[in-house]
């Protein structure tokens, strides 16, 4: 019989894997790693996931919603004969990201990335017999993220994955337009993320409400100091583009080669998709200044930059130029302090005291408590810092909007620490009797 099972992620954020099955064949949505620092205490450890999920022989395919580690992170462990699917830009970004993450790892993930097939927004695919999936392009802090509309045994399931609508892709009411255009007929089951239900305390002083607001506030902060160090995830491209466009004309916009490659790969893809002006090169900053000396890897960077309708140029920059003109620098933590000397830390040490500031643009949970990240804290090094970050996840009113549009018979929350609180959220009150909380590993037949 057809059914749904959340293998992991029903009552935690991260490490997700959800099965949708006809009884004979099945798709697995995401195969993520536990969030950093949580594997030890998790109900199911990463090392247990392969035997738990793949310890049987039904025909399977894995579909990734997006490239965040808590959704794709265990991809190397997926048996080679199981097909994997992801968005095409997400795959291109993994081609850059995975070798970077793997530089000190024995097991290299690039061959597995190359094995991934790509799906297209709005186009139905049949990954296994009896299950059709239509990927829906949505806004999230990972670019190229998808919801899935799934047809199985005469039922329609809408699986949100991680989403929001306050970033660049969410503009112009895209979420509503996509759901109206691409979800045919009534939805039987909505499986929705609920990350922000347990993080409502973050909204207020810490968060700006949208990526656009983040850009405006960043512009104001950049006016106040000459040397700006921005700690931001290298794949949080909406925020990166906002920082780029709001860099004052007199300052240089600076990053390293790895970051420049991710940025131009996304910009080229968004140019092809059209209509996202924030992903186009800025007339004010037609040059991105790149740390280090040009080498053979710069050829790819320059080739893509030159091929843009409005070309984006990449040039190397000297410490003297940085000192003279000032900068907005996209910085990253150093995960291997024993082996590497981080260029970002070197620049921080050189320039911070002469009118520098650190702008922290990541989840504040990484700064203290269970998820405290020692590498990020080392970069901040006790200096004062400004927090400027907007959530990658849907606010309560955005989830309520999806519920209203999809009007599902059953609502299953996941990707939240508080699934049992879902039904009592005031915005969800009209639907509280449709909410069904299921636990990891529990089979829910689809004849509900």
Q: Which parts of this chain interact with Zn ion (CB under 5 A)?
A: 68, 162
Give 31 or 289: the residue with its C-beta nearer to Zn ion.
31
Give 139 or 162: the residue with its C-beta nearer to Zn ion.
162
Give 68 or 332: the residue with its C-beta nearer to Zn ion.
68
Give 234 or 357: the residue with its C-beta nearer to Zn ion.
234
CB of 237 to Zn ion, least distance (A): 13
Contact call for residues 62 and 83 (beta carbons, < 8 A): yes
Give the Å distances, CA to CA, from 74 to 34, 93, 160, 248: 9, 17, 20, 41
308-317 burial, b if ≥16 CB within 10 A, otherwise e? eeeebebeeb
CB of 280 to Zn ion, least distance (A): 25
CB of 158 to Zn ion, least distance (A): 17
End-to-end Cα separation, the chain, in angstroms: 12
CB of 363 to Zn ion, least distance (A): 11
Give 162 or 165: the residue with its C-beta nearer to Zn ion.
162
CA–CA separation, 441 and 21 (whole Å):
13
Cα 385–292–95 angle (5° rounding)? 85
CB of 66 to Zn ion, least distance (A): 6
Give 71 or 285: the residue with its C-beta nearer to Zn ion.
71
CB of 161 to Zn ion, least distance (A): 8
CB of 361 to Zn ion, least distance (A): 16
Give 302 or 371: the residue with its C-beta nearer to Zn ion.
371
For residue 81, with 0-12 CB atoms within 10 Å meaning exposed, 13-18 middle and 19 or more buried, which class applies?
A: exposed
Give 342 or 390: the residue with its C-beta nearer to Zn ion.
390
CB of 69 to Zn ion, least distance (A): 9
CB of 15 to Zn ion, least distance (A): 12
Give 68 or 389: the residue with its C-beta nearer to Zn ion.
68
Backbone angles phi, psi at 272, to 5 degrees: -65, -40
Place of tokens 């506030």: 217
Give 68 or 199: the residue with its C-beta nearer to Zn ion.
68
CB of 33 to Zn ion, least distance (A): 12
CA–CA separation, 406 and 183 (whole Å):
8
CA–CA separation, 431 and 102 (whole Å):
45
């Amino acid at each position: 019989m057809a059914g749904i099972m959340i293998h992991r992620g029903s009552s935690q954020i991260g490490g997700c894997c959800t099965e949708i099955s006809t009884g004979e064949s099945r798709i697995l949505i995401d195969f993520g790693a536990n969030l950093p620092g949580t594997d030890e205490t998790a109900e199911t450890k990463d090392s247990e996931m392969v035997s738990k999920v793949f310890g049987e022989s039904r025909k399977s395919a894995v579909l990734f919603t997006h490239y965040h580690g808590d959704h794709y992170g265990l991809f190397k462990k997926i048996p080679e004969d199981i097909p994997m699917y992801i968005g095409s830009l997400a795959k291109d970004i993994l081609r850059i990201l995975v070798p970077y993450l793997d530089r000190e790892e024995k097991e290299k993930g690039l061959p597995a990335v190359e094995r991934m097939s790509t799906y297209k927004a709005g186009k139905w695919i049949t990954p296994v017999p009896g299950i059709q999936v239509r990927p829906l392009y949505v806004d999230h802090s990972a670019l190229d993220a998808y919801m899935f509309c799934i047809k199985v045994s005469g039922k329609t399931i809408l699986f949100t994955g991680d989403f929001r609508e306050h970033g660049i892709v969410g503009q112009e009411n895209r979420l509503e337009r996509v759901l109206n255009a691409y979800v045919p007929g009534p939805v039987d089951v909505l499986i929705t993320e609920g990350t922000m239900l347990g993080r409502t305390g973050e909204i207020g002083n810490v968060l700006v409400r949208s990526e656009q607001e983040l850009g405006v506030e960043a512009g104001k902060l950049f006016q106040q100091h000459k040397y700006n160090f921005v700690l931001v995830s290298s794949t949080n491209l909406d925020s990166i583009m906002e920082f780029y466009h709001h860099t004052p004309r007199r300052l240089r916009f600076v990053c390293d080669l790895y970051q420049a490659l991710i940025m131009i790969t996304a910009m080229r893809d968004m140019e092809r998709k059209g209509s996202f002006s924030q992903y186009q090169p800025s007339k004010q900053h037609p040059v991105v200044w790149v740390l280090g000396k040009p080498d053979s890897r710069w050829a790819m960077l320059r080739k893509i930059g030159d091929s843009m309708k409005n070309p984006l140029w990449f040039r190397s920059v000297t410490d003297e130029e940085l000192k003279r003109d000032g900068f907005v620098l996209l910085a990253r933590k150093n995960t291997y302090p024993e082996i590497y000397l981080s260029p970002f830390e070197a620049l921080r040490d050189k320039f911070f005291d002469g009118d520098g500031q650190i702008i922290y643009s990541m989840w504040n949970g990484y700064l203290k408590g269970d998820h405290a990240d020692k590498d990020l804290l080392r970069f901040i090094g006790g200096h004062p810092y400004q927090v400027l970050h907007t959530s990658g996840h849907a606010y309560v009113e955005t989830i309520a909007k999806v519920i209203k549009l999809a009007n599902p018979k059953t609502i299953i929350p996941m990707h939240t620490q508080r699934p049992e609180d879902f039904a009592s959220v005031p915005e969800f009150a009209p639907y509280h009797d449709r909410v069904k909380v299921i636990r990891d590993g529990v089979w829910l037949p689809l004849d509900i």
